[in-house]
Amino acid sequence: MTSRKALNGRSGNSGEAYHSNAAIPTRYTALMRRLIDTSKRGVETSASECAEVGGLQYQTRIFEGRKQGWPIVNRLEKSGGQVRSFYRIDFDALRKSGRSDLWALAFPNEYPNGVPISAPAPVQGSLELSAEGGF
């Protein structure tokens, strides 16, 4: 019998924290969704909100987002001996960076230049699939 410590990081479930199931988002995905949603509304996300969705190591998730190319801006507010931290995504910097892949994640219904897109409905019967599974 092997000890629990010997299997640490090598068990079959160790990768679950990094690979997302669509039904169960990772902490990184949940935090990025929160940052995108609040930043779209022009609101900053507080550190306590980030910790709520991103876990106590939310700074690591923010670092991962920055490594992926997200321009996450941090603002510190000092008052009465306390320091509060607030985060937001700078969409102007994102647009200027040319990262249309990230823009498409944040604004799935717009092109990077801000023009709304709409896909035409497919014409009935335009895509015929045979019953045998061929095209």
Q: What is the pLDDT of residues 63-112, one digit of tens each?
A: 999 999 999 999 999 999 999 999 999 999 998 998 888 888 888 877 65
How many residues does the structure list for the chain?
Answer: 135
d(CA 1, CA 59): 37
28-55 pLDDT, tens digit each: 999 999 999 999 999 999 999 999 998 8
Domain boundaries defined on the chain: 24-106
pTM of the model: 0.65
**Neighbouring C-beta atoms of residue 12, cutoff 10 Å:** 7
CATH number of 24-106: 1.10.10
- Tell me the two tokens of residue 17: 């924290």
Angle subtended at Cα 55 by Cα 45 and Cα 53, rounded to the nearest 5 degrees: 45
Pick the closest to residue 31 from 10, 53, 48 (CA basis). 53
d(CA 30, CA 18): 12
